[in-house]
Structure 1
Amino acid sequence: MPSSSGQCTCLRPFLLGSLLMLGFLLLLFTYINPNMDSPSLGMYFRPAPSCSHWANQDNSTLESDNETHHTTVLIWKWPFQYKFDSDCGVFGVQKCYLTDDRSIYNKADGVFFHHLDIHLGDLPKIPRPCFQKWVWTNMESPDNVPRKPWLDDLFNLTCNYRLDANIPVPYGYLVPRNSEDPDFQLPTKDQLVCWIVSNWNRNLLRVQYYNRLKDHLQISSYGKAFGKPLSEEDNKKVVSSCKFYLAFENSVHKDYITEKLFRPMSLGSVPVVLGPPRDSYLRHIPGDSFIHVNDFASPKELADRLHHLSKNPEEYMRYFRWTKESKMTISWFGKEHACRTCGYIQKHRKSIEVLDSTASSQPPHGLLTASSRPPHGLLTASSRPPHGLLTASSRPPHGLLTASSRPPHGALKS
Structure 2
Amino acid sequence: MMAGCKSWRCVWYALLLLFVIVIGLLCYTPSFRCLTQENEEATVRNPADHPVLLLIWLWPFNQTFDLECCNSRFNVPSCVLTDDRDSVGKADAVLIHHRDVAWDASNLPQVPRPLQQKWIWMNFESPSNTARIPGLNNMFNISLTYRKDADISVPYGSLVPVDRRFEAFVDFVPFEKDKLVCWIVSNYRPEHRRVQYYKQLRKYVQIHVYGDLFEKRVSDEEYKDIVSSCKFYLSFENSVHKDYITEKLFNALDLGAVPIVFGPSRRNYERFVPGDAFIHVDDFPSMKALAKHLFLLNHNEALYLRYFRWRRRFRVKMSTFPEENVCQACEYIQRNRQYQVLTNLYQWFWDTSEGLDMPPSFY
> TM-score, with normalisation over the residues of structure 1?
0.72
Distance 2:42 2:265 in 1: 44
Secondary structure of 1:126's partner? coil
Which segment is superposed worse, 276-285 or 64-73? Answer: 64-73
1:240 aligns with 2:228: yes
Contact 1:262 1:330 in 2 (8 A): yes
Contact 1:173 1:330 in 2 (8 A): yes
Structure 2, unpaired ranges of 5+: 1-28, 354-363
**Match 1:75 to one of 45, 56, 60:** 56
Distance 1:65 1:234 in 2: 45
Distance 2:348 2:228 in 1: 33
The 1:127–1:51 alpha-carbon spacing in structure 2 relative to 1, beyond 3 Å, is: farther
Contact 1:157 1:355 in 2 (8 A): no
Structure 1, unpaired ranges of 5+: 1-49, 368-414
Percent identity over the alignment is 47
**Match 2:332 to one of 344, 363, 369:** 344
- Structure 1 match to 2:159: 174
- Structure 2 match to 1:115: 98
- Structure 2 match to 1:88: 70
Aligned CA RMSD, in angstroms, stands at 2.3
- Structure 2 match to 1:217: 205
- Structure 2 match to 1:321: 309
Distance 1:287 1:61 in 2: 41
1:138 aligns with 2:123: yes
Secondary structure of 1:106's partner? coil
**1:55 Cα offset (Å):** 3.7
Contact 2:58 2:96 in 1 (8 A): yes
1:63 aligns with 2:55: no
Contact 1:158 1:359 in 2 (8 A): no
Distance 2:226 2:82 in 1: 38
1:267 aligns with 2:255: yes
**Match 2:86 to one of 98, 103, 109:** 103
The 1:62–1:229 alpha-carbon spacing in structure 2 relative to 1, beyond 3 Å, is: closer
**1:92 Cα offset (Å):** 4.1
The 1:358–1:108 alpha-carbon spacing in structure 2 relative to 1, beyond 3 Å, is: farther
Distance 2:42 2:138 in 1: 30
Q: Deviations over 1:287-323 (max 9, x none)?
A: 0000000000000000000100011111111111111
- Equivalent residues in 2 for 1:6-405 (5 A)? 51=30, 54-57=35-38, 59-64=40-45, 66-85=47-66, 86-89=68-71, 90-118=73-101, 119-178=104-163, 184-357=172-345, 360-361=348-349, 363=350, 365-366=351-352
Matched residues, number: 317
Q: Deviations over 1:88-113 (max 9, x none)?
A: 24434322111111222222121101
Q: Deviations over 1:333-354 (max 9, x none)?
A: 1112111111111221014223
Contact 1:175 1:327 in 2 (8 A): yes
The 1:102–1:69 alpha-carbon spacing in structure 2 relative to 1, beyond 3 Å, is: same
The 1:333–1:58 alpha-carbon spacing in structure 2 relative to 1, beyond 3 Å, is: closer
